[in-house]
Structure 1
């Protein structure tokens, strides 16, 4: 059986890269002939490419010191992008053909037995990516290919507005819809009149022993993985926690002034290793939260407004909403409870959800075989 995956994969984002790798790895481990369809929408590819353009594009009026800073940022981005790309190419199989235009995807309208869209926020129509019908599999033939989603998410989109009729039509051509969060579940039910099932992000489905580089940091450390800007009180919380627990502050993927060690060009393997060995993790990202749970780490989450849906939903599922930062949390710093997470009960919930998620995915893939057998029977 040949399976194609359509997701976000051509980025320097750790979470997007690891979810693509995880879904491919799980399906490959089940014996399927699976590949990621190498689709890079031109508008998005250009946005990432622009960061790679050399310093000569900087205006001549720009000061020398600013030119140097811009150039340094460019080099950091190039380094991280190259490491992320190398990781992906060495751990997944991409389709032979690479596409930048929607129309070109029609080449794959009948090349797979199953096409899976997801995971990640591929259905978020309010992001800089905008609405793209390709991620609703409009290029796939219903006659030859089974359409399913796995852990697809609408992100912070809550209404489909002018796209409702078109998305309704496309969603109703799916045989199985598996989504990542309750918001997406509700949109599919309320605006598309279709039943969806909530499953785990694919990063929960695989093990990471062979995918991590142990960090070369001698001291115990607090890992900081943030993408959005932090508030002053959040920075104060990090400094106070690190000071009290005698932890070195290590920032990964982004320069933070309050960190003693900044690892802006860490590879995905380095990123995983840093999470696995941290004494404490502070993040404002979905996948930073996911890997804190995977590695049973004490952690605190800052929640930016654009991530509140998915992060709160994830924490709620595991009974971990008390890990969300509030000013009151500072009072607990002097008590041991900030480090106390009942990972025994979290593990029971997680193991059950992993089994369910794998079962839903495999059943969705095999449904065509089951249908055809029962039909011929």
Structure 2
């Protein structure tokens, strides 16, 4: 059976690692699994500039103009890290061109799988049809999801109605967070709704260990990994470092510089895993930072992000880890 997966897989450690894990598990199930490359936006340089401007001024719930500008600049100029992540993807994940994928699903009996990560989040905009398969007309294509995340803990009545209409063609709706399952279960008469763990948790620790590069530092260190900047995590690391005579290493979406902190700007997937595996302590506000701290049996602190903490809370509670 062919399985075509629509998911996040580029530019980000967690996205690439969850896509790698999901495809690894699908291979173990003797399927032919391919991640779908999103259709390319073939536009002129002028149109791309206009899109960037619109992105910057468009209202967004959790990122203001300054943060979005910094994020855009990082994507444009800090290409070392992104290049290494995407090289990992090219080497380790089977990708299919969008046009070729469309040809293959036209009249074949296949599975279209909406993968993990926050592909179904409507925090800032409606879900892309790329992740809901609205465009698939072949009735022999079975639409399912695996551990898809909606990204938030609560939904309004209108949002629940939106999901119940948008996802009603799915045979199986697998969600990553228990709270999402509890909110949406019962609104789909013809679909199986379930809650499943992130695919990174389906692979044995040894598989992840084998992907790690050699230790990057010879001295003890505390590893800080942040998706959203939060100076309190660095201050927490300073207290812990002083007490335990450790260095501090920081990787984040925004390459901030902190006094007496080693900021890593160009770590690839293998280095990222190595920094976690070899750290004395982990301090993170990232879901996948928490996941790999658990997988590698590290001492860690997972700091709550108020608006989107449900995914970490659900994970820790399911493992009987205090939060």
Length-normalised TM-score, structure 2: 0.81
1:243 aligns with 2:242: yes
- Aligned-pair distance for 1:218? 0.5
2:295 match: 294
2:59 match: none
2:140 match: 144
1:202 match: 199
State how far apart, in whole Å, the 1-side matches of 2:287 and 2:228 are: 12
State how far apart, in whole Å, the 1-side matches of 2:295 and 2:238 are: 25
State how far apart, in whole Å, the 2-side matches of 1:24 and 1:250 are: 31
- Aligned-pair distance for 1:252? 2.1
1:56 match: none
2:63 match: none
Structure with higher RCO (Cα < 8 A, 6+ apart): 2
> Is the contact between residue 224 and residue 234 of structure 2 (CA under 8 Å) also seen in structure 1?
no
Q: Residues 259 and 22 from structure 1, CA distance in 2 versus in 1: closer, same or farther, beyond 3 angstroms?
A: farther
> Is the contact between residue 156 and residue 306 of structure 1 (CA under 8 Å) also seen in structure 2?
yes
1:315 match: 316
- Aligned-pair distance for 1:40? 5.3
1:352 match: none
Q: Residues 89 and 75 from structure 1, CA distance in 2 versus in 1: closer, same or farther, beyond 3 angstroms?
A: same
> Is the contact between residue 223 and residue 282 of structure 2 (CA under 8 Å) also seen in structure 1?
yes
Deviations 1:112-171 (A, max 9, x none): 6111101011111113x5432331221234621111110001111632654554532342
Q: Which of 107, 111, 125 is 1:114 aligned to?
A: 111
1:17 aligns with 2:13: no
State how far apart, in whole Å, the 1-side matches of 2:166 and 2:226 are: 35
Superposition map of 1:109-188 within 5 A: 109-111=106-108, 113-127=110-124, 130-141=126-137, 143-156=139-152, 158-159=154-155, 161-162=157-158, 164-165=160-161, 167-188=163-184
Unpaired runs of 5+ in structure 1? 54-68, 323-377
1:6 match: 6
SS at match of 1:257: coil
- Aligned-pair distance for 1:288? 0.3
> Is the contact between residue 84 and residue 269 of structure 2 (CA under 8 Å) also seen in structure 1?
yes
State how far apart, in whole Å, the 1-side matches of 2:290 and 2:249 are: 16
SS at match of 2:320: coil
- Aligned-pair distance for 1:5? 0.3
1:359 match: none
Query: How many residues are treated as equivalent by the alignment?
Result: 294
Superposition map of 1:266-305 within 5 A: 266-305=267-306
Deviations 1:40-90 (A, max 9, x none): 5759xx9xx87xx9xxxxxxxxxxxxxxx9999567521111111100010
1:84 match: 85
Q: Residues 293 and 259 from structure 1, CA distance in 2 versus in 1: closer, same or farther, beyond 3 angstroms?
A: farther
Q: Residues 291 and 70 from structure 1, CA distance in 2 versus in 1: closer, same or farther, beyond 3 angstroms?
A: closer
1:264 aligns with 2:265: yes
Q: Residues 36 and 272 from structure 1, CA distance in 2 versus in 1: closer, same or farther, beyond 3 angstroms?
A: same
1:361 match: none
- Aligned-pair distance for 1:220? 1.0
Deviations 1:151-201 (A, max 9, x none): 001111632654554532342322222211112202321544554211110
> Is the contact between residue 213 and residue 274 of structure 2 (CA under 8 Å) also seen in structure 1?
yes
1:357 match: none
Unpaired runs of 5+ in structure 2? 53-69
Q: Residues 192 and 184 from structure 1, CA distance in 2 versus in 1: closer, same or farther, beyond 3 angstroms?
A: same
State how far apart, in whole Å, the 1-side matches of 2:134 and 2:2 are: 19
1:28 match: 27
SS at match of 1:307: coil
> Is the contact between residue 117 and residue 136 of structure 1 (CA under 8 Å) also seen in structure 2?
yes
State how far apart, in whole Å, the 1-side matches of 2:261 and 2:304 are: 23
State how far apart, in whole Å, the 2-side matches of 1:88 and 1:313 are: 28
Length-normalised TM-score, structure 1: 0.70
> Is the contact between residue 221 and residue 247 of structure 1 (CA under 8 Å) also seen in structure 2?
yes
Tell me which structure has the larger Cα radius of gyration: 1
Q: Residues 109 and 139 from structure 1, CA distance in 2 versus in 1: closer, same or farther, beyond 3 angstroms?
A: farther
> Is the contact between residue 216 and residue 274 of structure 2 (CA under 8 Å) also seen in structure 1?
no
Comparing 182-191 with 172-181, greater Cα deviation is found at: 182-191
